[in-house]
Amino acid sequence: MLQIVISIDESTAFLFGIIEKLKARSIPCNVIEIHPTQKSYDNGFKILSELDKKSFILFLGHGQSDKLYGGEDLQTFPKKPFIKLKEMNIFCEQNLFLLSCNSRDLIKSSFRIARMNRSIGFGALPTSKEEVEQDNKLKERRISLETIEEFKLIMVETISESITMFYDKSFNKLKDYLILLIDKKINYAILDNNNSNLAELLFKMRNEIVLY
């Protein structure tokens, strides 16, 4: 069974599209929602610590090079680390797919101490105007909100399709297939949609995927 961890806040709502597509394709999923409460953080951590080894764990949410974040409520519960670098051994012997910003650096930093079976991570995944403007190269391109929304839809589509094909088979093939799908979307963005900004976002996503 696919174990899906999703951090709940307004900015991650679109990621439920991945869960919906996987369920629609009859992929057995157990969804662990990390809500903006300490009780939910603690409960989610406990569930992860008790999973069978070599489970496939898909994390959907925010992250940095030294942490994964849990849920956030701007009014009542500021975003906090859900799993810190030193706690990454919770994923020992697991197959881990981290769909979060800078997760490739987190995987690199924690791989030896965490001793994961296999893992996939990403670089920056700018899904808001604020995140785009944090990257000087992207900021100069004046990427529109419409393009960011299209990027998010493609992310949902390519991630869900690649996991559907290979979640219970091969992490190597999963990564290769994901890159193939993104390459097709890059070609679409350039040749059919004449949207070089969308192509740039997709190329950045593609180029920063790592497999360990």
> Is the domain 2-211 a CATH 3.30.70 member?
no
Residues 100 and 208 sit within 8 Å (Cβ to Cβ): no
Per residue in 78-110, pLDDT (tens digit) is 999 999 999 999 999 999 999 999 999 999 999
CA-wise closest residue to 162 among 179, 186, 145, 142: 179
Q: What is the structure's pLDDT at 136?
A: 79
Q: What is the structure's pLDDT at 68?
A: 98
Cα(65)–Cα(57) distance, rounded to whole angstroms? 18
Question: What is the arithmetic mean of pLDDT over 159-184?
Answer: 94
pTM, entire model:
0.95
- CA torsion sign for 107, 163, 69, 198 is positive
